[in-house]
Structure 1
Amino acid sequence: MEHEPDGQALRRGEIRNLGPIAGTGARKGIPGIGAADLGEIIQLPDGSYVAVFGDAFGGSKVGSHPHYPSVAVPVTFDDAGRPHFGAPLTGPRGSPNPLFIPPRRARGMNTLPAGSFQVDGKTYMLVVGTNQLRPEGGSWLVEVTDDPSRGWKPVARSWRPAGYAKGGQSQISGYQSEDGNVYIVADAFDRTRKVTLYRADPHTCTDRSAWRPFVRLRDGSTGWGKPRQQAVPISDTNFGELSFREVDGAAVLSGFNVRNGPDGAVEIWVSERPTEIFSAGVMTVVMQQSDPDAANFVPQNYGGYIVPGSTLRYLNIFASQWNTLCDPQGVPIGAPYNTQQVIANVVRRG
């Protein structure tokens, strides 16, 4: 799936926000859904794609009805690289066809997407059971199937409690590298942890207890530890949403840095190796909320999911905005609440 349209070349370092594509303010958006966020693009086994949104609502703001705790929507891209969404494949709360079927220990929780990785043609998503956006119901993996309408079920024995890995593995993202290994970054769904890194064998990647953490070794250097060891943080700050992919042979991390400025920012990091994504990576801010007069200002931004088919010259990401402020009566405004398309040239100088 290539998304580098002719006539839309970007200069090195250039960033363009193409505006809302789903949710509040989107010109076409998702049929029947007026407010949505996230929208990670997931490839199904048959080669088609769906966008997986988090909490979504029938009206144009948070709190309107009906409420979808998560929703899968078919998506295609036109020659200009713009997404087009079909009708939702899964139903709202209380319907017989939710997207994520929770394990027993997460029943009654809000089930939300928390990242993905693809291995040998199979796609796995992490799902988190939340209460007020806290991962109190733990997290688990699901294997993506061709029919989201039948629900994606937990992978056997993949559930972990919220405190697993010292609370730092309720949100993930990863990729299978050209070297055959699977590299996975992780943090906390509630944005209370720094980023950690793991390496997994493709044959055991759904067993999180088999992941090898990137650790501090006895001699003070860093390297791969043994399964179940505590991973060392590789970021200086806490992060939220993560999207970790190999693009044009480089390790690329897009995500929400909680501590960039007073309110956080969506950043893209590019490095030669996954272990050096922060220590030697080149960073580009694609959404900031520190300076209204500066470029790329988007209040209350987050997300930043890399779209399949992206290149370093034309990195295509879906980032989000949610106005959490209240009106004078104390009622949440709830809008804008949307997903926006941002394209960037993140080719490194060299």
Structure 2
Amino acid sequence: MSPQSAPLSRASFLKLTGLTAAATGLGAAGLQAGPLSASAQAAPSVQRLGEVTGPGLTDMWGAHSTDLGVPAIAPDGRILTVFGDTFDAPRVEGPNRAPIALYADQNRPLADKIAWTAPVGGDYARQLVDYPRDPVTTLLPGDVITLGDTMYLWVMENHGFGNVAHTKILTSKDSGATWQHNPYMFPGDHLGGMFQQVTWTYNHADDHVYVLSTGFQRDKPIILHRVFGGSIMDPGAYEPWGYRDGKWAWGNPPTPVREGRFGEMCWRIIDGTWVLSWFNAGDGTIDVLLHDGPTANLFTAEHHQLIHSTHWGGESDTLMAQPYGGYIVPGSTLSDLHLLVSQWNTGAGWPYWTQQFRVRGLR
């Protein structure tokens, strides 16, 4: 989908990109999954801890309905989590605002489920930045990272849902309390539309931020770039990783580092291991890869499918109707990983919320 494509409604876009149960072959007759891969058969234990947004949790701040939930440690030590399209009502209806953010208690055990202490904005979870609503329809988060005293939030400017016209980085120097616009990073069609949705992580060993990117439309593989931490705002400083003349090298034109239909992603370094979690739109699953470094072979990396799609009414700890997202909560370890996974019943309009899952025994 190019920036010039005709805009779709939010529900229509998600139906086309495989979020609905029908699109993944998961109708009322039940889940008809094929044989699991060897890595999926050896998957660790998964426990659904329950909702972290919705009635009694975030509605008091005007965030009755919200999704995503991209967390990072703010400079002041609190967990700041950024959410996508947000609605006052218990349904996807009426004016939307995005992104919003909530603070969480960093000292609360993750096994007790993440607990919010306040929204950005005071008593009401306000939109982090203002922007004109014509032609912009929403500003959706990709990932957030803290470098020194500054937080950097990658966002995708949609001109009609799913039609990414530009990307940009919002910045905050007060632990997320206020955010500033900055010049655009890339047009939506940059690198064939594969630099829209991103996840990034900072490697202290070489002072580089490593960036995995794909399209917003959940129909593309992922590519890799790196940039020095101090140059994160400079589009020209991002160096691609690619295969040419029989070898992989930095500076080559970017080559997919793993094929598939990638959706939302989260890349973090945990206990010295690089962990990528993502919504696998091809299989309708929440997956993780474990690997040794930014240029490790992701085609052969240790792979687990943790949560599989099912029909509404057929859910369990490892089965979820219409899942997406899959963001790693700070404080996670390889033996006790926590993910924020979103869910939206596009047919009924509710639920539209984020849940927390606990994954034990990855390593």
TM-score (norm 2): 0.78
Quick one: structure 1 residues 146 and 122, their matched pair in 2 at CA, closer, same or farther if it must change by over 3 Å?
Answer: closer
Q: Residue 154 of structure 1: CA displacement?
A: 2.5
Partner of 1:140: 168
Q: Residue 323 of structure 1: CA displacement?
A: 0.9
- Within the candidate set 152, 157, 160, 1:124 is matched to 152
Partner of 2:52: 21
* 1:61 partnered with 2:79: no
Quick one: structure 1 residues 125 and 242, their matched pair in 2 at CA, closer, same or farther if it must change by over 3 Å?
Answer: same
Question: What per-residue deviation string (whole Å, max 9, x for no partner) do you get for residues 196-230 of structure 1?
Answer: 111211221222321111101212x222225xxx3
Q: Residue 40 of structure 1: CA displacement?
A: 1.2
Partner of 1:265: 285
Counterparts of 1:108 and 1:294, CA distance in 2? 38
Moved more, 242-251 or 81-90: 81-90
Partner amino acid, structure 2, of 1:254: S
Quick one: structure 1 residues 222 and 276, their matched pair in 2 at CA, closer, same or farther if it must change by over 3 Å?
Answer: same
Counterparts of 1:266 and 1:247, CA distance in 2? 18
Counterparts of 2:58 and 2:136, CA distance in 1? 29
Q: Residue 52 of structure 1: CA displacement?
A: 1.0
Q: Contact between 1:135 and 1:170, CA under 8 Å: does it hold in 2?
A: no
Which structure 2 residues correspond to residues 277-316 of structure 1 after superposition, within 5 A? Answer: 278-289=298-309, 292=314, 296-316=318-338
Structure 2: runs of 5+ lacking an equivalent = 1-41
Counterparts of 1:158 and 1:179, CA distance in 2? 29
Structure 1: runs of 5+ lacking an equivalent = 1-10, 326-332
Q: Contact between 1:158 and 1:206, CA under 8 Å: does it hold in 2?
A: no
* 1:210 partnered with 2:237: yes
SS at match of 1:209: helix
Quick one: structure 1 residues 21 and 233, their matched pair in 2 at CA, closer, same or farther if it must change by over 3 Å?
Answer: same
Question: What per-residue deviation string (whole Å, max 9, x for no partner) do you get for residues 145-174 of structure 1?
Answer: 326454x2233x443211112211111111
Provide the alpha-carbon RMSD of the alignment: 2.8
* 1:201 partnered with 2:228: yes
Partner of 2:39: none
Counterparts of 1:182 and 1:149, CA distance in 2? 24
Counterparts of 1:115 and 1:71, CA distance in 2? 13
* Matched residue count: 316
TM-score (norm 1): 0.81
Partner of 1:113: 141
SS at match of 1:267: strand
SS at match of 2:225: strand
Quick one: structure 1 residues 238 and 29, their matched pair in 2 at CA, closer, same or farther if it must change by over 3 Å?
Answer: same
SS at match of 2:185: coil
SS at match of 1:317: strand
Counterparts of 1:167 and 1:61, CA distance in 2? 31
SS at match of 1:203: helix
Q: Residue 116 of structure 1: CA displacement?
A: 2.4
Quick one: structure 1 residues 293 and 119, their matched pair in 2 at CA, closer, same or farther if it must change by over 3 Å?
Answer: closer
Counterparts of 1:258 and 1:12, CA distance in 2? 19
Partner amino acid, structure 2, of 1:192: D
Q: Residue 318 of structure 1: CA displacement?
A: 0.5
Q: Residue 46 of structure 1: CA displacement?
A: 2.3
